[in-house]
Chain A
């Protein structure tokens, strides 16, 4: 079965700094990978997804993620964060052969002014 590990429960960065949120997955086949964002008192929204092809995928608001198969990782990056990026970020993995999506526990991002 698939699983996702987000090792950092909380990350604090200064506005304008670069960001990396870590995600490692466990799945023996070719995964579908996702990053979702959750703003306060809202549901999750898709940031970006990877199915195949170019391992670097671009998402909304300047976010990108890189699929590194050898490391089973799908880290999220942003070159320069804004205070409005403060939210909880979830990494998720799915197999193309079933209907389940498995979520990590999320990383709380705090952007300091």
Chain B
């Protein structure tokens, strides 16, 4: 069974602080993705990666950075968190055009 693990599951941050969301997959998938989910917007793609060392901008990359140091790990970094980044964040892994496997999500509140 494919497995994607996100940490932390819940996070409260202060405005202007740095936040790092982590994602680990044991599926050996090349591609990994970060989405945010907000009411009324569905899933929006922030960054994605084709493999270790690569990151690509998705549809809403502003205010976010991504890092893919290895096949298994993909991080999302908010250098200067803002209240507008309060959301639920999902990591996913998959192969080209194929099924995505999602983590359970990280609920982030920026105060």
Q: Hey, which bits of chain A sit against chain B, CB under 8 A?
A: 32, 34, 36, 41-46, 49, 90, 94-101, 103-106
Q: Could you say which residues of chain B place their CB within 8 Å of the CB of A94?
A: 97-98
- Determine how close the nearest CB of chain B comes to the CB of A46; give it in whole angstroms: 5
Q: Hey, which bits of chain B sit against chain A, CB under 8 A?
A: 4, 31, 40-43, 45, 48, 50, 90, 92, 94, 96-100, 102-105
Bound Cα distance A106, B90 (Å): 15
Contact call B105/A98, Cβ cutoff below 8 A: no
Bound Cα distance A103, B97 (Å): 13
Q: What are the 5 tightest A-B residue pairs by CB atom distance, in nearest-first order?
A: A43-B102, A105-B42, A94-B97, A103-B43, A44-B102
Q: Could you say which residues of chain A place their CB within 8 Å of the CB of B40?
A: 105
Given A41-B105, A43-B90, A43-B105, the answer on whether A96 and B41 have CB atoms closer than 8 Å is: no
Contact call B42/A101, Cβ cutoff below 8 A: no
Contact call A101/B105, Cβ cutoff below 8 A: no
Contact call B42/A32, Cβ cutoff below 8 A: no
Q: CB < 8 Å: which of A42, A46, A101, A106 contacts B97? A: A101
Q: Could you say which residues of chain B place their CB within 8 Å of the CB of A95?
A: 97
A90, A101, A103 — most chain B CB neighbours (10 Å):
A101
**Can you name the residue of chain A whose Cβ is closest to the Cβ of B40?**
A105
**Can you name the residue of chain A whose Cβ is closest to the Cβ of B100?**
A101
- Determine how close the nearest CB of chain B comes to the CB of A103; give it in whole angstroms: 5
**Can you name the residue of chain B whose Cβ is closest to the Cβ of A32?**
B97
Q: Could you say which residues of chain B place their CB within 8 Å of the CB of A42?
A: 104-105
Contact call B97/A99, Cβ cutoff below 8 A: yes
A sample of 13 inter-chain contacts (CB < 8 A) reads A32-B97, A32-B98, A41-B105, A43-B92, A43-B102, A43-B105, A44-B43, A44-B102, A95-B97, A98-B96, A99-B97, A105-B41, A105-B42
